Amino acid sequence: MQELSATAISQRYRRLRPRLLLSMVVGYAAFYLTRKSVNYVLPALQLDLSLSKSDIGLLGSLFYLSYGLSKFAAGLWHDSHGSRVFMGIGLFATGLLNVLFAFGDSLPTLLFIWTLNGFFQGWGWPPCARLLTHWYSRNERGFWWGCWNTSINIGGAIIPLICAFAAHWWGWQAAMLTPGIISMALGVWLTMQLWGTPQEEGLPSVGEWRQDPLELRQEQQSPPMGLWQMLRTTMLQNPMIWLLGVSYVLVYLIRIALNDWGNIWLAENHGVNLLSANATVMLFEVGGLLGALFAGWGSDVMFSGQRAPMILLFTLGLMVSVAALWLAPVHHYALLAMCFFTVGFFVFGPQMLIGLAAVECGHKGAAGSITGFLGLFAYLGAALAGWPLSQVIERYGWSGMFTLLSVAAVLMGLLLMPLLMAGITASNTQRIKT
C-alpha cells in the first residue's frame, strides 16, 4: 500500500470523523426509538391488556437483563472481529422485533419478544465505543463523546412524540409499528456508513496524528495482546473499573426509574394526560442532551481531560434536583417540567462520563469489552428500576420510589470520592515529573 502524505492523512481524518460521528448519532438514536417505544404506550397497553404494575416491571426487568448481558458479549465479539455491519444488523433486528411486538396479544408473547429485543439492543453501544476511542483523542474526546451521547437524548425526545401521536390516532400498535419500520430502514443504511479503526483504514493512530500526549501515553500502555489478557489486566484487575461499575448501577437506577415510570407518576399523582406527560418526560431528554454536551466539554476544557471532578459536580446537582422533583408542589405543571429537565441535565452527565472514564483507564483495544462490562452494571441498575421498583411502588407508593432514588444519588457521591482523589493524586504526580 502506498504511504500517504501528512496532508492526505489530515484530509482523510477531517473528512471521515464528522461523517462517522453523524452516522453513529443517527444509528444510536434509532436504537432508542425501538428501545423506549414501549415505555410511551404503557398507559394504553396497561388498559388494553389489563396489565398490573408487576407485569410492567417484569417486562422492563427482563429486557434490561437481556440487554446488559448482550452488551458485554457484543463488546467481546466486536473487539475480536470488528465487523463494520454489526451495528446495522442489530438495528434492523430490533426494528423488526418492534413490529412483531405490535401484533402480540398476550403477556408471555410480549415478554418473549421484548427480551429478544434487549438482546439485539446490545449490538449498538460497543461499536460506537470502539470507534470513538480510536478516531478521537484524549484531549478532545470528552466533547466528541458528548456529541455522540446526544443520540440518546435525540432518540429519547423524538420517540414520545411519535408514540403519543400514533397511539392517539391509531392505537398503541401503531406506536410500535412506526419506530420499528423507521429503524429497519436506518439499519440497512447504517451497514453502508461505518468504518473500521484508523489503522484498518491505512491511517496512523489518532494520537500520532494529533500529537496528543495523553493519547500517546494510553497507546503506549496498550500493546498488542490477546483479548483475555487485556480483559484480565485492564478490566478485571482494575479497581477503578469496578468502582465505576457500581456507580453505574445507581446512575441507571435513577435514570431508568424516571424515564420508565415518569409518565405513569405524572398521570396518577398529578392527573396529567398522556400527551402532556410524554411531553414532560421529553424535557428530561432535552436536559440530558445539554448536560452530556456540557459535561464532555467541561471535562476537556475545565479539567484538562480529567473526568472525575466533573462527574462529582454533576452528582451533587443530581442529589438536589431529585429532591426538588419529589418535593415539587402538587399539580404545578411548569415546575414539574422544569424539575424533569434539571434531573435529565444532571443524570446524563455522569452517565456519559463514567463510560468514557472507564474506557480511558483501560486498554484501547478493549474499549468495546470495557463498555460492555460496564453495561452489565448499568442494566442491573435498569433492571432494578423494573419489577423490584414496582414492588416498592405498590407497597410504599410513589414516595417510596423517590426516597430510594434520593438515597441512590447520595451513595453515588460517596462512591465517586475515591475516583476524584485518585485523579488529584495522578495530576500531582504528573506535575512533579514535569
User: 406-415: per-residue pLDDT in tens?
Assistant: 999 889 888 8
Range of the domain at 158: 16-196+227-428
| 218 in a structural domain | no
SS3 category, 50: coil
- Specify burial of residue 195 (Cβ count, 10 A radius: 0-12, 13-18, 19+): middle
| 318 in a structural domain | yes
CA dist 414 and 322 (Å) reads: 16
Confidence class of residue 61 from pLDDT cuts 50, 70 and 90?
Answer: confident
Q: What is the pLDDT of residues 62-77, one digit of tens each?
A: 998 898 889 888 888 8
Q: Which residues contact 272 (CB under 8 A, 6 or more apart)?
A: 266, 280, 333
Q: Which residues contact 315 (CB under 8 A, 6 or more apart)?
A: 346, 350, 409, 412, 413, 416
Place of cell 480529567: 306
What's the pLDDT score for residue 117?
Answer: 96
The 8-class DSSP code of residue 365 comes to G
| 433 in a structural domain | no
| 221 in a structural domain | no
Q: If residue 24 lies in a helix (H) or strand (E), which one and from where to where?
A: helix 6-35
CA-wise closest residue to 12 among 210, 206, 203: 203
CA-wise closest residue to 298 among 143, 151, 167: 143
Domain count, the chain: 1
Side chain identity at residue 248, one-letter code: Y
| 215 in a structural domain | no
CA dist 285 and 341 (Å) reads: 7
Cell of 289: 442532551
CATH number of 307's domain: 1.20.1250.20
- Across the range 296-322, mean pLDDT stands at 85
| 203 in a structural domain | no
Q: How many CB atoms lie within 10 A of CB 192?
A: 10
CA atoms within a 13 Å half-sphere pointing along the CA-CB vector of 153 = 24
CA dist 153 and 146 (Å) reads: 11
CA dist list (Å): 312 to 174, 305, 306, 423: 42, 14, 11, 12
397: left (phi over 0), alpha (psi -120 to 50) or beta: left
The 8-class DSSP code of residue 91 comes to H
CA-wise closest residue to 32 among 86, 88, 89, 95: 95
Per the CB < 8 A criterion, the answer to whether 88 and 194 are in contact is: yes
Cell of 236: 478485571
Confidence class of residue 329 from pLDDT cuts 50, 70 and 90?
Answer: low
| 209 in a structural domain | no
SS (HEC) of 117-139 = HHHHHCCCHHHHHHHHHHHCCHH
| 11 in a structural domain | no
pTM beyond 0.85 = no
Q: Is it the case that residue 425 has pLDDT exceeding 60? A: no
Q: What is the pLDDT of residues 230-282, one digit of tens each?
A: 677 777 778 888 888 898 899 999 998 988 888 888 888 777 776 777 777 77
Of 6 and 24, which is predicted with more confidence? Answer: 24
What's the pLDDT score for residue 189?
Answer: 96
Of 320 and 327, which is predicted with more confidence? Answer: 320
